[in-house]
Amino acid sequence: MSENAAVKQKKFSWTDEVPFEILRLFTAIVVALLISFLVLCFVSDNPVNDFVSLLTYPFKSPFYFSYVLVKMIPLVFAGLATLLYFRASLFNLGTEGVFYISGVFMTFFAVNPLTGIGIIDQIICIAVAALAGGLISLLPGFLKAKWNADVMVISLMMNNILFGVGLWIVRTFLQPAGVSGNSSEYFADSVRLTRIWTGTQVTTGIIIALVMVALVWVLLYKTKLGYQLRMTGSNARFAAYSGMSAFGLMLLIHFISGAIAGMGSAVELLGNYQRFSWSTLPGLGFTGALMAMMGKNNPIGATIAAFGISYLRASAQLLANTSPVIDVKMISIVEVILTLLISSQYFLRSWRNKQMIKEKGGE
């Protein structure tokens, strides 16, 4: 009991649980930025200038800043979809393929809207994409739940299959006659999402994204399903022993996650595209995995990660015209270092242990 008393008397210390996590995160960010600066030093004529621009550019004008938000939206959706999988200890990387195929299905309804009333058609489009994403994701979910198949490899194979099938659908059914290329006909104007910030491309999509963040948070921490998910994810045998059915949960998680990915696809396409023109996998699904990891599988964490990464990506993309070496792909350095350090349980641990022994020195 004397130990407990000691804990209570102790003043603020960086070795305490929460401050230590913040310190870790901060250190990880500094390390990641420092290394990207070093890389810039090798390739840039004016690394300091480039680096400062990269860190501050989006603040130069409201339009630039709005671009951050635009880039962030699909990452939030992909991050939410993936973190639900990761929470359940499912290494499903299929968000990529689901983004693609649900966008394809949505395009049918975006090109030929059913009602002509903007808001309703938008809802129909998003719902179709969500449904498509959810239903397709049930397949790996079922294979996992029923036979314990390796969900990561299956989802990766499915990405290739869904892409092939999607592209075939686009070329066969959606492409205007007599035109070459891989694009659909133009979306009807009415289905395109409403701009909510004049002079920018920020649409109602950001509101939908933030609502989804809140819903996923509630789902995880406030519902029975979320409780089951957390217990199953941290120890599946314990959950089964406690009487939770893994089978239904697997299917449900896959459906919800796929539906979120589908929504993300629809919001991205209806917000920023005039027609379906993805001729490769968009890469958003994989980035979602990074957001989930950086956000420690917490919806709010993933959203912050999505903002931070979008900030740098937007900045890099805006600077790409002025600098020969800066490109959005360069941000991958920051991404990989951050992800690695954040998922390292022992990062800074030896420092913490030393500090703790020092603090306990008297005992």
Footprint on residues 115-174 left by other proteins (CB under 8 A): 143, 146-150, 152-154, 156-158, 160-161, 163-165, 167-168, 171-172
State in angstroms the smallest separation of the CB of 158 from other proteins.
7
* The pair of three-digit structure tokens given for residue 153, joined into one six-digit string: 């490899």
**Rounded-to-integer distance, Cα 64 and Cα 318, Å:** 8
Question: Under rule CB under 8 A, which residues in 29-68 are in contact with other proteins?
Answer: 43
Determine if 211 is a binding residue for other proteins (CB under 8 A). no
Determine if 353 is a binding residue for other proteins (CB under 8 A). yes
**Rounded-to-integer distance, Cα 87 and Cα 85, Å:** 5
**Rounded-to-integer distance, Cα 177 and Cα 184, Å:** 10
Buried b (16+ CB within 10 A) or exposed e, 237-272: eebeeeebebeebbbbbbbbbbbbbbbbbbbbbbbb
Determine if 356 is a binding residue for other proteins (CB under 8 A). yes
Is 35 or 207 the residue whose CB approaches other proteins more closely?
35
* Interface with other proteins (CB under 8 A), residue from 174, 250, 266, 289: 289
Determine if 10 is a binding residue for other proteins (CB under 8 A). no
Contacts of 328 (CB under 8 A, 6+ apart): 313, 316, 317, 320
* Interface with other proteins (CB under 8 A), residue from 46, 242, 277, 322: 242
Is 34 or 357 the residue whose CB approaches other proteins more closely?
357
* Interface with other proteins (CB under 8 A), residue from 64, 65, 91, 108: 91
User: What's phi and psi for 203, nearest 5 deg?
Assistant: -115, 180
Q: Which of 107-115, 122-130, 225-233, 302-310 is the region at the interface with other proteins (rule: CB under 8 A)? A: 225-233
Is 121 or 335 the residue whose CB approaches other proteins more closely?
335
Residue 145, Ramachandran bin (φ over 0: left; ψ between -120 and 50: alpha; else beta): alpha
Q: Which of 18, 80, 93 is nearest to 220 (CA)?
A: 80
Classified as helix, coil or strand, 94 is: coil
State the binding string over 325-344 for other proteins (x if CB under 8 A, else -).
x-x-xxxxx-xx--xxx-xx
Determine if 224 is a binding residue for other proteins (CB under 8 A). yes
